[in-house]
Structure 1
Amino acid sequence: MTLTAPLITVFGATGNQGGSVVRSLLQNPSFMVRALTRNPNSPASQALATQGAEVRQADGFSSESMVNAFTGSWGAFVNINSDDKAFEQGGPTEFDMGKTIVDAAAQAGVRHFIFSSGPDCLTLTGGKIRMNAADMKYKIEQYARQISRFESISCICAAWFLENFLIKELAPIFGGFPFITDTDGYLTLVAPKWGGKEDVPFIAMSDDFGDIVQGMFLDPKAVEGQVVHGCSDICSFDELVGTFEKVTGCRARFKPLPSWEAFDTYGIPELNDTKAMFGFTQNNAGKYFGPEPTEKETAGKLKLKTSVALGRPKGEQQLMSVERWCRKHFSLP
């Protein structure tokens, strides 16, 4: 008798998080992967199909669409794009979509549910800071935890994307680092201080995030109820630019802003939460993931579990360090 591999359905499959999860799972023949997208004909969707995913159209606001999309799924990973234009003021909210998705997954019989969540900023700062995306995701997380039909439910929070430093359009917002030299000849990272011990968590989205989530699916009961810190490495902004300088030979430095309020969003709505993030971490002793200290040990164990399952050599089983990531993307030929 041939046993069918468990099917994992990924909502938000063409985004940074979902795409990383799909690509990691597709390396493991023990899983089948269904990628949900609004537009199955988009280049990103077609790329996933070419790699072996079953690509299916789904509407996160439609209960019928989501039940159909989740039918037959053993597991589900869900990440909602908080910057979705569908969440314009006065319209349906991210929570409305999240509730529809959670209910549909439960109705369809999904056994193991992993949600990309965020910290409870408003509570953790005593009502001082509201980070809309994180607060909304936390609200969805709490709703999902009340669903009794899942065998396991766990969450992951993504740290600062290292890939953000590869987006040249973002560089001017952060002082020009790592592409635009300032008048003093430095590649200068300008941002508020992080707070606490200045231990900023970073995630190599392409290299690690999907493997961490796959590790959660490899033994869902082991992470039942947990919020995993989606983190590849932890260092201060000073250490980050110092590592970049060592790897590239380019002069680099960190210039902290006098306050988190001084962070300029340039009128870009998507940066409002970035600004609030600095306010949150400064008011939460530098702890981004919640009330507990930032750690990468759990993510490291999950990465290792996936790497062993995929038969990777020992040298490729660890999380991506900031130094290795800089060497991969910025080292001189």
Structure 2
Amino acid sequence: MTVSTPLVTVFGATGNQGGAVAKSLLQNPSFKVRALTRNPSSAASQELASLGAEVQQADGFSSESMLQAFSGTWGVFVNINSDDKSFKPDGPTEFDMGKTIVDAAAKAGVRHFIFSSGPDCLTLTKGKVKMNAADMKYKIEQYARSNGEFETVSFICAAWFFENFLSKEIAPIFGGFPHIPDAEGYLTFIAPQWGGKEEVPFISMTDDFGDIVHGIFLDPGRWSHKVIHGCSDICSFEDLVSTFEKLSGRKSRFQPLPSWEDFNTHGIRELDDTKAMFGFTQSNEGRYFGPDPSENETAGQLKQLTATALGRGKQEQKLMSVEDWFRKHFHLQ
């Protein structure tokens, strides 16, 4: 009897999260990967195809399109871009897309469903703070949990992307760190305090996120109905900035804003949730992942499982620390 190789279909495969998951799984001959995208001819789509993915066009609002996309699929990873311009306050919403995807996956006979979710911000802050993207994702998570057709459902919440520090476009929003010195010659990181013990969770998308999700697929039953903290390292903004200063030799500092409400969104709608995130964490004792304390032990286990499965050496089995991330991605000694 021939056992076919399990097919994992990735929705949002050309985004940061989906791309990381697809690239990690493509290193493992025990899986086949189908990458779903709106534009199969994009550079990101072509890169995945060159790595061995089957690239397929799909529309998250279309039940027929999603049913076809999930045909023959063993496992699914779904990340929905909350900033998609097609989402409107009066509909269609992110939840509408999520519901369509969940229903189609169940109908197609998908056994293992992993969804990139968010914390129940409104409930955890007793109605004080609303993060639109997180609340939508949490609502989709609850819908997927209640479906009952999947063998397993698992969820992952992504921490603050280290990769944001690579963007020279994002840097000015936070004072210029780590690219643009201020008038006094400092690389200054300006943001509200995180709250609680100032333990900020960070994730390296390119180094760790895909491996963490990959690890869930290696043993999906073990992680069913759990929310995994997609987190590489945890440190304060003060420690983050001082680490960069130590490694680079460039004067750097953290300047906390008096209040989360002082965070300037510059009229950019996508930053409304970033502002609300600080209000959420300050109202929730610094915890971003919901009622549980921030932790990355589970992510570390999953990273190690994947690294072992791929035959990597000891050093490559660890999550990326703040220091190692700056060393690698800013080419620092």
- Whether the 8 Å contact between 1:248 and 1:331 is mirrored in structure 2 is no
Matches of 2:18 and 2:301 in 1, distance apart?
Answer: 20
SS at match of 2:303: helix
Shift of 1:197: 0.4
Matches of 1:71 and 1:276 in 2, distance apart?
Answer: 38
1:26 aligns with 2:13: no
Look up the match of 1:291: 291
Look up the match of 1:171: 171
> What aligned pairs does 1:40-59 form with structure 2 within 5 A after superposition?
40-59=40-59
Shift of 1:2: 3.6
Look up the match of 2:101: 101
How many aligned residue pairs are there? 333
Look up the match of 1:128: 128
Look up the match of 2:139: 139
SS at match of 2:34: strand
Q: Cα RMSD over matched residues?
A: 0.8
Give CA-to-partner distance per residue, 1:180-238, whole Å, 9 cap, x none: 10111110000000000000000000000000000000000110110000000000000
Look up the match of 1:63: 63
Matches of 1:213 and 1:12 in 2, distance apart?
Answer: 14
SS at match of 2:271: helix
- Whether the 8 Å contact between 2:12 and 2:80 is mirrored in structure 1 is yes
The TM-score with structure 2 as length reference comes to 0.99
- Whether the 8 Å contact between 1:247 and 1:330 is mirrored in structure 2 is no
The TM-score with structure 1 as length reference comes to 0.99
SS at match of 2:147: coil
Look up the match of 2:11: 11
- Whether the 8 Å contact between 2:326 and 2:332 is mirrored in structure 1 is no
Shift of 1:82: 0.2
- Whether the 8 Å contact between 1:37 and 1:45 is mirrored in structure 2 is yes
> What aligned pairs does 1:1-333 form with structure 2 within 5 A after superposition?
1-332=1-332
| One-letter code aligned to 1:229 | H
Matches of 2:130 and 2:78 in 1, distance apart?
Answer: 23
Provide structure 1 residue ranges, at least 5 long, that are not aligned to the other structure: none
Shift of 1:330: 2.0
SS at match of 1:179: coil
Shift of 1:42: 1.0
SS at match of 1:34: strand
Shift of 1:331: 3.9
- Whether the 8 Å contact between 2:117 and 2:138 is mirrored in structure 1 is yes
| One-letter code aligned to 2:99 | K
- Whether the 8 Å contact between 2:265 and 2:272 is mirrored in structure 1 is yes
Task: Decide whether aligned partners of structure 1 residues 50 and 95 sit closer, same or farther in structure 2, where only a CA change above 3 A counts.
Answer: same
- Whether the 8 Å contact between 1:199 and 1:234 is mirrored in structure 2 is yes
| One-letter code aligned to 1:187 | L
SS at match of 1:87: coil
- Give every structure 1 segment of 4 or more consecutive aligned residues whose post-TM-superposition deviation is greater than 6 Å: none
Matches of 1:330 and 1:96 in 2, distance apart?
Answer: 40
Matches of 1:89 and 1:74 in 2, distance apart?
Answer: 34
Matches of 1:46 and 1:205 in 2, distance apart?
Answer: 20
Matches of 2:89 and 2:317 in 1, distance apart?
Answer: 44
Matches of 1:10 and 1:76 in 2, distance apart?
Answer: 6
SS at match of 2:282: helix
Matches of 2:151 and 2:183 in 1, distance apart?
Answer: 58
Give CA-to-partner distance per residue, 1:152-182, whole Å, 9 cap, x none: 0010000000000001001110000000101
Q: Which moved more, 1:75-84 or 1:35-44?
A: 35-44
Matches of 1:91 and 1:50 in 2, distance apart?
Answer: 37
Matches of 2:140 and 2:209 in 1, distance apart?
Answer: 21
